Structure 1
Amino acid sequence: MAHSATRPAARNIVYTARLVGSPVFDPIGDKVGTVYDVVVLFRFKGNPLAVGLVVEVAGRRRVFLPLTRVTSIDKGQVISTGLVNMRRFAQRPAETLVLAQLLERTVTLRETGEKAIVLDAAMSNVRGREWQLTTLFVQTSKKGRKAAETFTVPVNDVVGLAHPAANQGASSILSQLVGLKPADVADVLRDLPPERMQAVAHELPDERLADVMEELGSEDQAFILSALDIDRAADVLDAMQPDDAADLVAELPTEQAAKLLEEMEPEEARDVRRLLTYDERAAGGLMTSDPIILPPDATIAQALAMARRADTPPALAAIMFVCRPPLETPTGRFLGVIHLQRALREPPSTMIGSILDTDVDAVSPGDGIGTITRLLATYNLTAVPVVDDDLLVGAVSVDDVLDHLLPEDWREADEDTTDEALEVHHG
């Protein structure tokens, strides 16, 4: 079978084995050392990040040169932005040396299942001064009369290049989660052995863990929560969206749920208790009790400031609800909504009551998911108000609906399986 690979689009591609021994110069042309190895950081999403060079300087001392301080790698030489830090290089647990640790490693080709030996690895300058390990030069084993083959293959098309995350310590895994979205962190946790999942989750800050928990299935949520002491578990629930916290509490044993509700902040616990009284597939069970709520005399500037809050999900930032005081659910009389796009076209001092949209239909807490879905689709909304006796009690966002339309295990299932399940669900 012929092997082929698409060469990544990049401004510069450098094979690391050929880079070894290349001179390193400072900006004025003085040689400071030679390249000894390349340091990469494996990530759970995307190609490994090439973070620096190990440079051998006078006296066979090896120091670290970040690739962010390299302006050029070309024609067998490296140009740096300035003086090299002469502190001796010490490899960190999450770092991997390409020549010392990756070359001659046996990997498996995803397409064919064949074993191959890594002969060289190429790093590509993908943007600015960011470099990634993108391509491997590998050799398959000789089979009978068939000679061994050598060819290039994208890093993501092989298995076994990095050590499994299951063998890493929690601190090493945490270093690779920096910058990942909560949904991607949840994917990582699902792939870990149970004890390692709990250990990594335990080290995440409360707000970060709350965001990640919202992306996990109920079984994983309960498993992680069970490993936390009751005070920490209550703090995490406080930081979650009320509807997600209510869904999780509903899955817990009655005694444990009662203890957690007692330890939560009174206002947060009140919202969760109220949501627990509704059917989980009705508007009351799907809604969040904490959308953006404003009085009619608030200004556009105040509305936009609320929409900019980092803890507001995008679907709820796109539509704001206008009510008479009190402004916490259940509110005073519900008046209408403000669409973010409309607000952006108005002067900051304009009162939102003057651009109120009163034509958006509200749903009642007992309305089913079908009614909500039709309203979202018909009027191209990201959320609908839930009103009881003219009082706003919450809002159902499009992501809340999707969570309940998709199969229960959609987070763990691959794309093809999810597509098939949706076809059955909507067939």
Structure 2
Amino acid sequence: MAEQLGRDPRTVKSGNNVARWESGTVPELPTCHAIAAIHGVSQQAVKQHGWPNFLNLANHNQALSSPWTFEGTLVALNSLPHHAPHTPSPEVTGRPLMEFARKALSSALDPPARTTSHPGPVAEKLTRNARDLHDWWRGGDPLTAYDLAQADLGLTARFLTEMPYDDPGRPQLLLVASFNSELCRAVKANLGEHTLAERYGLLAVRTAALAGSPLRTATALANLAAGHAHAGNPRDAFALNAAARSLVPRPTPRLEALISAREAHAHARMHDSTSSLRALDRATEALTIGSDDNALWNDLDEQWLAHSSGRALSALRRHKQALEHFNHLLRGALPAQATTQPLLYTANALQRAARTQLAIGEVDAAAHSVIQATTLFSRIPSYLTQRQRQAFRRYSRVPAVRSMLDLLAEKSAPG
């Protein structure tokens, strides 16, 4: 506490302070911020949740705080909650996040001992399950995909707990855990549950690093950066992307495209148009070089880049340019027939397009874009539609908007 507050430890009577806090005295705001920083909780979370509720965010984030050992990672795997406090941005920021990245780099560059033994049928079966699940979720219900990935995470943790220390299947199972954690992160991030998405992102980094895979760890770091570029502090995104680059100085084409697109969005959030456009150029050039078989995801294609470019240009308030990147979804065929991306990504792209259309006064077109998004699912989670209801509030008397809002209410699922 003294170090965090910049004081001489000899002048701080922490025992008396703690006794007062435990008996009901509310610490001053700088003290709350110091306590939060020690436990990896953001100042924004302190403001939102207040004393002592923000401490709950620290108590359950084992993905951040557990020791960087195999046993500590098992604790993190077995401690993931199905729910977390809803916050408007990722909860970990600044120094705790940078310390986490530093430990990830150290772990990923110190791979486990090589073995010539076969990883075994369990590791192979769960690896096939993870890849099959990812292929399925592209056209399936994202909430079902999340439940299945959660179940496989629990099964993977069980086998990791029971297998011998030197079992040759352990690194492969850690990669399976990273793969499923990343799928869970993607679902929760696209549904706006940033706290839980970040916890899965942290776990994806930890398990990939412990498996000794620089490529998978760099990919997970870049995806963790996406949440901070989108809803958190973009400076955190820069640091995470830099960590990813330091792990793989010569990235594969898809990894270069991924990191560059994340950098483009972070620069756009900082209103740095020149740097953002340069990063998009790097991402485009990387994808034209070719693909690779080792990337964590196989969704990184021209449409993925178009959606990423549209998001960055929208953040730069270049709305007409941004809309050009969504044209394949806005014209012609139904979105489900026009997309190569998972349906949840496509729905979010359409909703981004709708907000961009609103920004230039195309209200009817924006309402139609939201309706197009609803065609992708038989039921829509309510928290996926809340942002659109708010965006269209001032246009509620427009007939096209009224029809769209009625459809959202009809198709919204609870939760």
Work out whether the TM-score is over 0.5.
no
Higher relative contact order, chain-length normalized (CA < 8 Å, sep 6+): 2
Q: Which of the two has higher C-alpha Rg?
A: 1
Structure with the higher fraction of residues in strand conformation? 1
Structure with the higher fraction of residues in helix conformation? 2
* TM-score normalized by the length of structure 1: 0.29
